[in-house]
Amino acid sequence: MPLKRKLLGLAVAAVAVPAAVAVVPSAFAAGPDLLPLTITNDSGRGEAVHLYVLGESGGRLGYVTAAGAFTPWTGGANPPVPAPDVSIDGPAPGASRTIQVPKGLSGRMYMSFGDKLDFKLTPDGLVQPAPWAGGDANANFLFDWSEFTYNDAGVFLNSSQVDMFAVPHSVSVTGTDGRTLTTGRLKDGGRKAVIDAMSADPDFGKLVRTRSDGTVLRVLSPGKGADTGGFPADYLDGYIDRAWNTYATQDLTVRPFLDQPDKVFTGRTSGEILNFRDGSGAQVASFTKPSTSNVWGCDGNLGAPNDLVVGPIARSLCAALQRGTLGTQAVEPATDPATFYRSEPANLYNKVIHEQMVDGKAYAFAFDDVANQESLVHSGDPSSIAIRLTAF
């Protein structure tokens, strides 16, 4: 399950590391001290590509050079001051570039087209680009990122659309056995299909961001759009009310662990509260009815601690509300994608992004890994990883 974490001084969406693995890494996992990361530029665009490898290692925040050397940030201040230029030259169109990722690093790799990104330093770390925020210097830049963790449990690498949908790219890992896993690849024309579907909807069209030269830079996630005031803050309120009330007269069964089908929690709503009991009948969790904002962020009333009871139930509830399955069935999480996004109003952002992925997998919200719908690759014994910038 993804860990919500503070990274580089700002809250990030999710570094996709199973919690059990992150907490108890395998001492026997293999993998080189420096893991090759190959970036291939099949975007079809002519702008220079700038790369940044940023993250946390040994409890310190910093950046990584192309050779894989980790350097902690220094010199932050309040108000934030410009960070040094730590960009790595990316591959030319049609070419590849291999850089190194050191073991013990968790963070992001940014890729920016044409413009170098604007980062700032505070005493606590790095202020990352937030193009949904007013006044952000990166708002007119075309960029995106992938998220990764490389430790003794192996490597976890995922593309992410939790905050925005921008630059199409796939992620891959190759193990020492020669097997390669790839995910996150859009269908041909998929970026345009997502943008067109968003633009055609009166609400979701407000999430599309276009530069003055006509370049569509990104589609914001509904939560980020609502934060800026450009998307209805109460979009899901009516659906949430209906779904919550369903379980006033019938049980909601939550089986949060696919590998533990006998681990069952049973819920009933009483007014605004959804209470859950375990198999012994003991009450183990209670959730106040969430707001639309809580659903977009999987936080607040749906906050998921990193435990084995409340967190897994909260994740299941948030995924069900994001996908529109809560209130339509007696057991969550739903595992059949054909049942997702059928309630009204539907989360068109998640729905269309998943539809346009070759394998149907995406990280369109923080807990999209519930029922294994996430665009994540993992190897406990990796020999290399790769990111391919695909055509758009």
Active site residues: 147, 163
Task: Return all residues near 50 (Cβ < 8 A) that are at least 6 apart.
Answer: 87, 88, 89, 90, 110, 111, 112, 115, 116, 117
Task: Identify residue 267 by its one-letter amino acid code.
Answer: G
Using the CB atoms, write b or e for 243-262: b if 16+ within 10 Å. Answer: bbebbeeeebebbbeeeeee
Residue type, 243: A
All residues at 6 or more sequence positions from 276 whose CB lies less than 8 Å from its CB, including other chains? 254, 265, 266, 267, 283, 284, 285, 286, 287, 313
Question: Is the Cβ–Cβ distance between 2 and 306 less than 8 Å?
Answer: no
Give me the torsion for CA of 312, 316, 321, 322, rounded to 10°.
Answer: 90
The full DSSP string for 178-222 is S-EEEE-PBPTTHHHHHHHHHHTSTTGGGGEEE-TTS-EEEEE-H
- The answer to whether the CB of 127 falls within 8 A of the CB of 89 is no
Query: Which is it for the CA torsion 308, 309, 315, 319, positive or negative?
Result: positive
Q: How far apart are the first and last CA of the chain?
A: 31
User: 281: which 2 tokens?
Assistant: 């009948």
Cβ-based neighbours of 286, under 8 Å, separated by 6 or more: 273, 274, 275, 276
